[in-house]
Amino acid sequence: MQNFFQKIQPYLKYLKYFYLPGVFLTVAGAIAGITSGVWSSLYLGLMIAGAVFLLICLTWLVSNTPNFLTRRSTQAGTNVLVGTIAILVIVGIINFLGFRFSSRIDFTDNQLFTLSPQTQEIVTNLKKPVKLWIFDSPPDPGDQDLLNNFRRYNANFSFEFVNPDQKPGLVKTFNVKSQGDVYLEFGDKKQLVQTLINFNRREPLSEIKLINAIEKIQRDRILNVYFLQGHGEHPLNTTKEGLSEAVNNLENKGFKVNPLNLVESSAIPDNTNAIIIAGPKRKLFEPEVAALQKYADQGGSLFVMIDPETDPGLDPLLKQWGVKLDPRIIMDVSGAGSLIGLGPAAPVITTYGEHPITKEFGNSISIFPLSRPVATVKTPNVEAVTLLEASNKMWAKKELTGEELVFDPKQDLIGPFDLGVALTRTEDPNQKIAPSPLPSATTSPSPATSSQESPIIQPSVSPSVIPSVIPSVIPSVSPSVTPSLSPTVSPTLSPSPIISPSPNPNPSISPQPSSSPKKTSFNQSAFSAKLVSYSIAQASPEISPSPTPSVSPSVSPSPTPNPTSSVIQPSPSLTPSPTSSVNPSPSPSVTPSSPAVSPTETKKTEKITSKMVVIGNSTFATNQWFGEQLNGDVFLNSVQWLAVTDEHPLSIRPKEPKKRRIILNGLQASLISWLSLVIFPLLGIGLAIATWWRRR
């Protein structure tokens, strides 16, 4: 043994160089394990071997070098080693924090590497685990990056890349047809999302298809949306004026889209979640409007898109909701459209209301060619919110004559005003309703006039007074009503009632129009062209267009013309009944059929909530304009808000990447080749030689 140590003694001096293989093996094993994510026995063996080499080197130095630990070189080397380790630890902590709390800046035009706001909301609101299976090998780095972004927002989202050749059991479970199939699993549901390989060409994983599949698989029922047809509405085909793009996007979100012709089928299907009226050119028949009114009264949802210079005959329906379509055409004189090649007849909207449909839009752009304003009045049980607001640099013109746009203060309207509104109507059937009385008041017709606009009844001083009508200066949007007399009126009543159509049921309230404080009303500027009367809704908020209640005024037979007693005040709970009529006459004869009236009834049912979206344009949803900016988001979010009863995130949907391809001719290609291969290199060499020559 002693001879052995004597023989190897000359070679022990080389142990001090063992730190080289030690560092190499240790670093190689660590890098291999970190990058692969799998700490195999090979990687661990390399690190252990490297540590052994370093330990041998350190032991030899300590034992063969006098005062090794106190030497200045040892202290300097130790400081360097500790500093290096500290730097590595700091860099590791920074990388960990950067991965854990990542923040990226996306400079691409369509934000291709950033999840859209809608995707972020849907993934964040996942309550149950959702797993994506990608049957493809090897994994695509772009797909992995997209899915990592999904998982960063919610731990309930997970994904796994599967090699179909290595896991045939999963292939059979999901019934995979070809390599590249992507399946989504939610509970016991499995749904095909996309096929990545088609005709030997691989396409990237689509964020739009994935988020639509997540929405669809979470629904426990099919949502049915019907497009009204038969009156010149936009067809559901692939033409420029068609709605195939809108239909395809709705179907991708899990909606079932059907056409609806109320002439062929008089009844609206019971499974209808929303009805879309997209730009009718001709009037609807009265039974069709009545069917839509009945559907809305029962809690239905309507999406009404009406273009200017058309009259679809929906005024009876819209009046119930306090909506008035203005016949004028919106002109955008701000010049914003000229920057993207549009004229003034295509308003560019950048202001949106605080509503779930548009709350995430910010100042983004949506375009509505040939649009009309939409006005609203304050209506009981109806809440109106602005969706699309025209700026103060937009006009609503009545007549388009001449080449230049000139504002006419007598008949044109200046912004801001609404182009689209969302309305919610909530009615409580539990309120006590007074049924209509059985007797009918019959009077002889009067040759002067008859009014059906106000329940206010004034007894005249003399039976020979001719009935008078107080005309309203501003057109009314309230439904026409006629008062119904109570059977308690004595048959010997002598005074002749005079009917006044004044929309003011309280004499203390001025009938002058006043601007509505709601944001959805039009700008009440100093112009004579007013869109709608706001005094009716504000002065008579207690008057409801319900068809069942009746008015029972108590008429005093005294002929004394006392102002305080001549106007009979209806009680706040009284509403006019449109089913009975009163024809004033100098000598009326009232014949009650039966004085018995059934007592007040109370119906205990849940509140009925109906929804409606009204936009003064339908072109924005056609194939030609659907993909422009936020046009598609306005349409899809509106339909989803109408059809889905529960709370659901509505935001800006993902955008497909734009295909930008530069096509060069032969001259351009040759020029680029000469510049990059010859001219620029020679220019650089020449500048270098000139610099060297000057310094020489």
Task: For residue range 61-70, list pLDDT tens digits in order.
Answer: 777 777 777 7
Domain contains 360: yes
Average pLDDT of the segment spanning 25-31: 88
Domain contains 684: yes
Same-domain check for residues 259 and 125: no
In 367-440, alpha helices (H): none
Where among 186, 218, 250 does a domain terminate?
Answer: 218
User: For 178-222, what is each residue's pLDDT tens digit?
Assistant: 888 999 999 888 989 988 888 778 888 888 889 888 988 888 778
User: Distance between CA 630 and CA 44 in Å, rounded?
Assistant: 55
Q: pTM (2 decimals)?
A: 0.56
CATH value at residue 150: 3.40.30.10
User: For 648-660, what is each residue's pLDDT tens digit?
Assistant: 556 556 665 565 6
Average pLDDT of the segment spanning 487-506: 36
Same-domain check for residues 203 and 242: no
Residue with tokens 């049912």: 605
Residue 251 tokens, joined = 């179907």
| Better-predicted residue by pLDDT, 464 or 328 | 328
Same-domain check for residues 231 and 206: no
User: For 246-304, what is each residue's pLDDT tens digit?
Assistant: 999 898 888 999 999 998 887 899 889 999 999 999 999 999 999 999 999 999 999 99
Domain contains 636: yes
User: For 104-122, what is each residue's pLDDT tens digit?
Assistant: 777 776 667 788 887 888 8
Domain contains 25: yes
Residue 465 tokens, joined = 């007074």
Q: Which residues of 1-21 are buried (b: 16+ CB within 10 A; e: fewer)?
A: eeeeeeeeeeeeeebeebbee
Q: Show the domain range for 407.
A: 224-430+607-643
> How many domains, the chain?
4
Same-domain check for residues 670 and 612: no
Residue of 281, 290, 267, 307 lying closest to 229 (CA atoms): 281
Same-domain check for residues 39 and 143: no
Dihedral sign from CA coordinates of 20, 24, 30, 34: positive
Q: What's the whole-number average pLDDT of the chain?
A: 74
Same-domain check for residues 244 and 164: no
Domain contains 542: no
User: Distance between CA 284 and CA 286 in Å, rounded?
Assistant: 6
Same-domain check for residues 255 and 374: yes
Dihedral sign from CA coordinates of 458, 460, 463, 464: negative
Around Cβ 409, how many Cβ atoms within 10 Å? Answer: 12
Same-domain check for residues 228 and 213: no
Where among 187, 218, 249 does a domain terminate?
Answer: 218
Domain contains 550: no
